[in-house]
Structure 1
Amino acid sequence: MAAGNITLIVEPRGKPIRKLPAEFEISLDASSEELYNAFSAASGHSVHRLRITKGSDRSLVPNSSATIDSTGLRNSSVIHVKDLGPQIAWRTVFIIEYLGPLLIPALFLFPLRPLLYFNFDKIPAPSDTQLLVCALLSLHFLKREFETIFVHRFSSATMPATNIVKNSAHYWILAGFNIAYWVFRPDAKAATGTPNEGLVYAGLAIFVFGELANLNAHYILRGLRRPGTTERGIPSGFGFSLVTCPNYFFEILAWLGIFLVSQLSWSVIFFTFVGGAQMWSWGWKKEKRYRKEFGDKYKKKRAVIFPGLA
């Protein structure tokens, strides 16, 4: 064994991995990324499909530029290598998630309208309000697709491919089928030719503000992470001095705007409530992570989404 090199004892965790070496020699100065690349080449699996943990405490050996020495691995240390199964890129996941609610409203409002509402004696043409709601939904999810492709930087490259159905169900069912079916019904409140104009104009104003402010927050978050890294900085800028996740706050505002324009459709507020509850959970996890990661450098927030509330 060369000076500065160590030999690691390699054991599969879970199902056996083809051609995984029983031992592996590596320099203490090498990066853990090199370890992942070596096992990827040996097994024929993508590095994103592999997870390496220390046998001593089962802590993760990250796939990064960190040196083997810094991970605490030493000569004859045992490492466990797990096959996570088929993976799919997070960017692809989001594109698929948002594609459903991007296309479903227009499909429900036009080509599928006679099939969906066949039990009505007469199916009138969509009202101006229904057309407006369809446009707002399309703009919202077009923005989401734009952000996915050009703005967001992901801390994890992939996720298990089997999760795609579960992750997409929230958007395809609640934001797609649920909202489109009920708001575009011939007897929906939005079907009227004389909508409450106060709700329409207030909803439009809130929607535009929420979408633009949300986009701005995403650009701020993008700037905190250098391309190709998982390092993060402390976010600051419009909204971040008030709550942990102003991007979630502005997202909810935009949906409240759609709720008003829809003439207070229960289906829109139901989706907003379910999504808001999930964002509240994510927000508190992020707040705890900021406190742990940045310590006294980070100004703790009592509210993670709604200023002064939660």
Structure 2
Amino acid sequence: MASKPVTLKVQPRGKPIPGLPKETKIYIQGSTADLYQRIAADSKSSVHRLRITQGKGTAIPNDKSVTVASTELQDGDVIQVKDLGPQIAWRTVFIIEYLGPLLIHPIFYYLRPYIYTLPTFNPGPSSLQTISFWMITLHFLKRELETIFVHRFSLATMPYTNIFKNSAHYWLFSGVLIAYFTYSPNSPTASSDASPALTYVAVALYIIGELCNLSTHLTLRSLRAPGSTERGIPRGLGFDWVTCPNYLFESIAWVAILLVNRHWSTAIFIALAVGQMAIWAKKKERRYRKELGGKYKKKRFAMVPGIW
């Protein structure tokens, strides 16, 4: 049976929020998600735009599994509410990010005669350019399908301004930068393949990386029930080696692409992407230890066995 409701004082954090109540009542055994819903309803705002904190800025999660009592809020305590601004769904952001390379690479590949100054006799894209094109296109097509059918997100939305920063990484670096130089008649990929054995190895490595990456994503999906933010402990292919094998296998697939197109533009994108994934992997390792405690076995390496 629910306990007697407590009254919490409500203050805006940052800019004023129209309609924000000066106080709200909530059952102490109710969830913090209920608290968010109540504040959002009173202020006529989307619940995803709000961040509620207490004390010295300690965040109160919007989580059905977390009770108000567990946050140690008591009758008369003050909570602060911040308006995060207009939001956009994480799934939408991912779809837009990966759409860039899916549009840009076909443009450069199929419209080569109109983009570059080609020799009078133009035999069309080389075998290496064609292999590079399909490797990159299939990679991002896979990521789009995973975004739609596989991934589950712990947060529903992010600030809409992030879409410009996130999209720039994919549209400019893995899109325009790689595509322009890969399909150029002056690119190393434009010449005949002097190392077919290396190409065969690269394609095999790419297939292994992509399939193993898909396997880790399916494992991560199984850890969280639909609509839940509760995190489980991942086990299976790669998870005994490192905290984030999905990043490891993603990196392997991109190294395989580099072995085919052999250009510095791809190396730049890989350096940026792997560097960012390495940071995320360390953060995820710390988050697992904090949230799961003794149930989580600390890994020696976060992303690359023996290195990181």
Query: Shorter-chain-normalised TM-score: which range?
Result: over 0.9
Distance 1:29 1:123, change over 3 A: farther
Any runs of at least 4 consecutive aligned residues in structure 1 with deviations exceeding 6 A, and if so which? none
Match of 2:259 in 1: 260
How far is 1:227 from its partner? Answer: 1.4
Identity %: 53
Match of 2:82 in 1: 82
Match of 1:105 in 2: 105
Q: What are the ranges of 5 or more consecutive residues in structure 1 without an aligned counterpart?
A: none
Distance 1:7 1:130, change over 3 A: same
How far is 1:58 from its partner? Answer: 1.9
Deviates more, 1:281-290 or 1:123-132: 123-132
1:149, 1:156 → 2: CA distance? 15
SS in 2 for 1:208: helix
2:134, 2:159 → 1: CA distance? 33
Distance 1:291 1:32, change over 3 A: closer
- Residue 149 of structure 1 aligns with an amino acid whose one-letter code is I
Match of 1:279 in 2: 277
Distance 1:107 1:123, change over 3 A: farther
1:180, 1:36 → 2: CA distance? 45
How far is 1:244 from its partner? Answer: 1.2
Alignment of 1:179-218 (within 5 A): 179-218=178-217
Match of 2:32 in 1: 32
1:207, 1:99 → 2: CA distance? 21
1:71, 1:99 → 2: CA distance? 41
Is the CA contact (8 Å cut-off) linking 2:251 and 2:274 kept in structure 1?
yes
Match of 1:304 in 2: 302
Match of 2:73 in 1: 73
Deviation string for 1:263-297 (max 9, x for gaps)?
Answer: x2211122112111111111111112222233333
Distance 1:151 1:123, change over 3 A: farther
Deviates more, 1:97-106 or 1:195-204: 195-204
Root mean square deviation of aligned Cα: 1.7
2:37, 2:193 → 1: CA distance? 64
TM-score of the two chains, using structure 2 as the length reference: 0.94
Alignment of 1:142-181 (within 5 A): 142-181=141-180
Distance 1:32 1:194, change over 3 A: closer
1:195, 1:101 → 2: CA distance? 27
Distance 1:295 1:8, change over 3 A: closer
How far is 1:115 from its partner? Answer: 4.0
How far is 1:75 from its partner? Answer: 1.1
Is the CA contact (8 Å cut-off) linking 1:123 and 1:186 kept in structure 2?
no
Deviates more, 1:129-138 or 1:57-66: 57-66
Distance 1:76 1:183, change over 3 A: same
Distance 1:261 1:6, change over 3 A: same
SS in 2 for 1:52: strand
Is the CA contact (8 Å cut-off) linking 2:3 and 2:29 kept in structure 1?
no
Is the CA contact (8 Å cut-off) linking 2:3 and 2:28 kept in structure 1?
no
Distance 1:292 1:38, change over 3 A: closer
Match of 1:138 in 2: 137
Is the CA contact (8 Å cut-off) linking 1:103 and 1:138 kept in structure 2?
no
SS in 1 for 2:304: coil
Alignment of 1:199-238 (within 5 A): 199-238=198-237
Alignment of 1:280-295 (within 5 A): 280-295=278-293
Deviation string for 1:176-229 (max 9, x for gaps)?
Answer: 011100010011111123442112111110000000000001111111112111
How far is 1:123 from its partner? Answer: 7.6
Match of 2:18 in 1: 18
TM-score of the two chains, using structure 1 as the length reference: 0.94
Match of 2:51 in 1: 51
How far is 1:128 from its partner? Answer: 2.3
Is the CA contact (8 Å cut-off) linking 1:12 and 1:82 kept in structure 2?
yes
Q: What are the ranges of 5 or more consecutive residues in structure 2 without an aligned counterpart?
A: none
How far is 1:122 from its partner? Answer: 4.2
Distance 1:24 1:148, change over 3 A: same
- Residue 74 of structure 2 aligns with an amino acid whose one-letter code is R
1:122, 1:164 → 2: CA distance? 42
